[in-house]
Amino acid sequence: MIKIAILGASSLTSEVLIKILLKHPHTEIVFLESEHLNGVKVSDVHPSLLGLTDLKLKKLDEEVIIKKCDVVFMAKDNGYAHKAAGKFVKNGIKVIDLSADFRIKNATVHKKWYGFAHKDKRLLKKAVYGLPELYRDKIKKASIVANPGCYPTSIILACAPLLKVNVADSDGICIASSSGVSGAGRNPKPGMNLFMDSYRNIFPYKVTEHRHTPEIEQVLSDIKESTVKVTFIPHLVPIDRGILSTIFIDMKNKISLKELLEIYKEFYINDAFVRVCPPGKFPSTKNVEGTNFCEISAAIDNHTGKLIVISAIDNLFKGASGQAVQNMNLMCGLEEETGLL
**Do residues 91 and 157 share a domain?**
no
Backbone φ, ψ for residue 142 (5° rounding): -80, 150
Q: Please indicate, yes or no, whether residues 157 and 279 belong to a single structural domain of this protein.
A: yes
Is residue 63 in some structural domain?
yes
Q: pLDDT higher for 220 or 172?
A: 220
Residue 320 located in a structural domain: no
pLDDT 10s digits, 43-87: 999 999 999 999 999 999 999 999 999 999 999 999 999 999 999
Same-domain check for residues 122 and 156: no
Neighbours of 303 (CB within 10 A): 6
* CATH label of the domain that carries residue 57: 3.40.50.720
Same domain, 122 and 168: no
Q: Is the pLDDT confidence value at 326 over 70?
A: yes
What 3-state DSSP class applies to 173? strand
Q: Give one DSSP letter per residue of 120-147, joined into a string.
A: -HHHHHH-EE--HHHHHHHHHT-SEEEP
What CATH number is attached to the domain comprising 295? 3.30.360.10
Q: What is the per-residue pLDDT for 321?
A: 98
How confident is the model over 273-295, as pLDDT tens digits?
A: 999 999 999 999 999 999 999 99
Q: Would you say residue 336 lies in a domain? A: no
Share of the chain above pLDDT 90, in %: 89
**DSSP of 76-116:** PPTTSHHHHHHHHHHTT-EEEE-SSTTT-S-HHHHHHHHSS
Residue 72 belongs to some domain of the structure = yes
How far apart CA 120 and CA 13 sit, in angstroms, is 25
pLDDT for position 166? 83
179 shares a domain with 80? no
Asked if 283 and 206 sit in the same domain, the reply is yes
Asked if residue 43 and residue 188 are part of one domain, the reply reads no
**Do the domain assignments include residue 13?**
yes
Q: What average pLDDT does the chain have?
A: 95
**pLDDT value for 193:** 61
Q: Could you tell me the residue range of the domain that residue 160 belongs to?
A: 151-315
pLDDT at 198: 72
Paired sense of beta strands 243-250 and 306-313, if any: antiparallel
Query: Confidence class of residue 21 from pLDDT cuts 50, 70 and 90?
Result: very high
Q: Are 73 and 183 found together in one domain?
A: no
- Rg for the chain (alpha carbons), in Å? 20
CA 145/CA 296 separation, integer angstroms: 25
In this structure, the answer to whether residues 289 and 177 fall within a common structural domain is yes
As for how many domains the chain has, the answer is 2
Find the length of the chain.
341
Task: Give the mean model confidence (pLDDT) for residues 302-326.
Answer: 96
Q: Residue 135 domain-assigned?
A: no
The arithmetic mean of pLDDT across residues 142-159, rounded, is 98
What amino acid occupies position 168?
Answer: A
Residues 45 and 184 in one domain: no
Assigned domain for 295 exists: yes
Quickly count: other Cβ atoms within 10 Å of residue 229's Cβ: 14
The per-residue pLDDT for range 161-196, each reduced to its tens digit, is 999 998 888 888 999 999 998 876 666 556 666 666
For β-strands 2-7 and 144-146, DSSP reports them as unpaired
Is residue 190 located within the same domain as residue 304? yes
Q: What is the pLDDT of residue 200?
A: 82
| Percent of the chain residues past pLDDT 70, beyond the cut | 96
User: Does pLDDT of 251 surpass 70?
Assistant: yes
Residues 115 and 161 reside in one and the same domain: no
Residue 74 domain flag:
yes
Write down the pLDDT at residue 199. 79
pLDDT score of 305: 87
Active site residues: 150
For residues 24 and 63, give the distance between their C-alpha atoms in angstroms, rounded to a whole number. Answer: 25
Looking at residue 188, its pLDDT comes to: 56
Question: In this model, does residue 254 exceed pLDDT 90?
Answer: no
As a whole number, mean pLDDT of residues 80-106 equals 97
